């Protein structure tokens, strides 16, 4: 009984440290996301003409709709779940909490998909810049649509496969913690491979001297640079790599904090970068003037 109490006390202490870490690191990003939402929606409407005609328009519009609907609903249901739990309405609180969890999962898919897509587009831009003008191939709307759907389906099937794996472990082995840890380590390694792709794309962007050809391309380039630089400067990335290389039980708590912080920060980092880029950018859009013919007076 005493060992169980000590184990629960350690888990509570680790949970408190994890919550404090999240509040300190992710809290400012969440506040910035909420405060900049109205300005972003107005800025996107203002700059929409500059995005028109770009093959990257589906990606930009998908981000806009995700921030406008999913993130706002995510915040509202999270607040409602907390209030319902505080006033003692458990049934309503669980409903809000489940909806909050579904929206959180959808947002995680969006964040992972968006980082992979902008990384691939940035690498394509780098390779294209090294070709002669005759050999360059520009992206089309069909290319971007296919890339979006392919990467999104890849993320969905990856998570479904992980959930099936966990269910099989729980049913057959009655929750063996070592095997569950193996599944989570697999998920972490897959996610880190996405980040390495983002880091490569960030490095390539600084090797390109050509200016972006459109406002949409400028947004993608800026998002790649900002997200990549922030993640590369994040100490938790090196903590995760160290934990993977030196998988030690003595570093179990550091591994938990590093991995959850490294994965969780993207949920707010990506939309904040999208918001700030759109708000700070004011592209010059040339609007054609209509020529009116007047009858000649004799």
Is 94 a domain residue? Answer: no
What is the average pLDDT score of the chain? 81
How much is the pLDDT for 182? 72
Is 97 a domain residue? Answer: no
Is 71 a domain residue? Answer: no
Q: Kindly tell me if the per-residue pLDDT of 13 is higher than 70.
A: no
Compare 182 and 117 and report the one with higher pLDDT: 117
User: Quick one: pLDDT band at residue 249, thresholds 50, 70, 90?
Assistant: very low
How much is the pLDDT for 28? 84
Is 24 a domain residue? Answer: yes
In angstroms, the first-to-last Cα distance of the chain is: 108
User: Quick one: pLDDT band at residue 141, thresholds 50, 70, 90?
Assistant: very high
Is 72 a domain residue? Answer: no
Q: Kindly tell me if the per-residue pLDDT of 253 is higher than 70.
A: no
- Closest to 185 measured CA to CA, from 243, 116, 232: 243
DSSP state of 51: H
Rounded CA-CA distance 211/271 in Å is: 24
SS3 196: helix
Compare 189 and 53 and report the one with higher pLDDT: 53
How much is the pLDDT for 151? 95
Compare 277 and 24 and report the one with higher pLDDT: 277
Structural domains counted in the chain: 1
Is 134 a domain residue? Answer: yes
Is 40 a domain residue? Answer: yes
pLDDT in tens, 182-214: 777 777 788 888 889 999 999 999 999 888 989
How much is the pLDDT for 132? 85
Q: Measuring CA to CA, how many Å separate 238 from each of 146, 166, 258, 260?
A: 34, 27, 9, 13
Is 81 a domain residue? Answer: no
Maximum CA extent, the chain = 108
Whole-prediction pTM value? 0.83
Which domain covers residue 148, as residue numbers?
Answer: 2-64+105-280
């Amino acid at each position: 009984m005493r060992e169980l109490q000590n184990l629960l006390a350690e888990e509570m202490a680790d949970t408190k440290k994890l919550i404090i870490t999240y509040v300190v690191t992710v809290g400012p990003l969440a506040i910035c996301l909420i405060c900049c939402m109205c300005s972003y929606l107005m800025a996107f409407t203002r700059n929409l003409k500059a995005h028109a005609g770009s093959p990257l328009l589906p990606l930009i519009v998908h981000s806009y709709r995700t921030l406008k609907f999913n993130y706002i609903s995510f915040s509202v249901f999270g607040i409602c779940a907390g209030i319902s739990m505080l006033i003692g309405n458990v049934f309503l609180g669980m409903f809000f909490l489940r909806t909050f969890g579904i929206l959180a999962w959808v947002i995680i898919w969006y964040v992972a998909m968006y980082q992979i897509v902008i990384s691939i587009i940035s690498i394509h831009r780098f390779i294209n810049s090294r070709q002669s003008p005759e050999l360059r191939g520009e992206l089309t709307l069909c290319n971007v649509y296919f890339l979006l759907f392919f990467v999104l389906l890849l993320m969905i099937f990856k998570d479904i496969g992980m959930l099936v794996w966990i269910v099989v472990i729980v049913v057959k082995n009655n929750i063996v913690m070592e095997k569950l840890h193996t599944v989570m380590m697999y998920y972490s390694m897959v996610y880190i491979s996405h980040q390495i792709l983002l880091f490569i794309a960030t490095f390539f962007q600084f090797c390109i001297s050509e200016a972006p050809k459109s406002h949409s391309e400028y947004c993608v380039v800026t998002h790649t640079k900002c997200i990549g630089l922030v993640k590369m400067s994040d100490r938790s990335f090196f903590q995760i790599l160290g934990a993977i290389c030196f998988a030690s039980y003595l570093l179990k708590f550091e591994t938990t904090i590093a991995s959850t912080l490294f994965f969780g920060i993207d949920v707010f980092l990506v939309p904040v970068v999208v918001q700030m880029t759109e708000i700070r950018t004011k592209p010059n859009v040339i609007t054609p003037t209509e020529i009116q013919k007047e009858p000649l007076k004799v």
